[in-house]
Amino acid sequence: MERRAVVAGIGVAVPPAFDQRVMWDTHFSGALAGSRAAERIFAASGVRTRHAVADPRSEDVAHWSTAARMRRYAEAAPPLAHQAVTAALADAGLDAGDIGLLAVASCTGYGTPGVDIALAGSLPLDPRARRLLVGHMGCYAALPGLDSVSDYVNANGRPAVLLCLELTSLHAQPPTDDPEQIVCHALFGDAAVALVLRPDRGPGLRVVDTAWRTHPDTSDHMTWHVTDLGFRMSLSRRVPDVLGVEVELLAKDLLDPHGLTAADVDHWAVHPGGPRILTVVEQGLGLPDTALAESRRVLADYGNCSSATVGLILRRLAPAPGETVVAMAFGPGLTLSGALMVAEP
């Protein structure tokens, strides 16, 4: 099948912003007993600003039950979703009634009727439109979502929307001296990003190909478990070591069929799981220091927003017609996913 699906519009919606240093001084320093080690982790996170639907300085989110967190998700997610999707539709020059498929990727909140059904009413969607939920895949979910949505567009010749919406602030965990949990406290933020795909070669990013690599033998390196106090993430220190080896193989799987190498790629949108992840990807692919500049800027301005982060980076890129873009993201599994795109005039 000829791949002609083009990302023609991107929309972003975020809750209120918080300065990382101010948040440390006014909340986390006290919550983490003024730990010097924790302060160093916050300072080295690469994050300057994050957005959150729940302010831990006024709400004791860390001790909320999972049910209470899901109630807040149900309240906060639909308005952000609506704002992001309507912005993306406007960017693409389409109306909600044009959409044949709405896919929602999220690993931070669940309930039925969910965000997809709320959007069906608020946009509103055509009653015949299809809906798809991509759930609990974690940080790399945007790319499987993009894969599925572009397949729909190619097969059906109709526009589609992919919404990645993550409210990670709702899963703050109780105070701890566990370095892995402190890293999570320092990195994650909230965001909603919507991508509109059209079945034509108009302006935008044409999705050329996708690739995956999954390693179940390292599945314990990155986990996202449902607990009585929200969803608890674990991030092994070994994750960068695995990515350092596997990212080169992922790039070859993605680029070799098209006669390309990493050196031929004009723009990169690599999920910033943290500063060390970006450095490992640069080294593994032999990229110059400037190649992942937008990934680092997004990390600084938003933090790690799980599945929404790749879309935040794509929105900032400005490829000229004919230039190539590679998006990459990593998550539980341990899973690596990538997409090759070309800018259309």
Q: Which residues are catalytic?
A: 139
> Residue 80 and residue 165: Cα distance in Å, rounded?
8
DSSP state of 131: E
The stretches of the chain forming alpha helices (DSSP H) are 20-23, 29-31, 36-43, 66-92, 115-122, 142-156, 179-187, 239-255, 275-285, 293-302, 309-316
Are the beta carbons of 255 and 287 closer than 8 angstroms? Answer: no
Per-position DSSP letters for 230-296, written without gaps between them: EEEEEE-TTHHHHHHHHHHHHHHHHHGGGT--GGG--EEEE--S-HHHHHHHHHHHT--TTTTHHHH
DSSP state of 332: T
288 CA to centre of own chain: 24
Q: What is the CA radius of gyration of the chain?
A: 19
Record the tokens describing residue 300, joined without a space: 């600084």
Record the tokens describing residue 14, joined without a space: 């975020």
> Residue 281 and residue 278: Cα distance in Å, rounded?
5
Count of other CB atoms within 10 angstroms of residue 232: 17
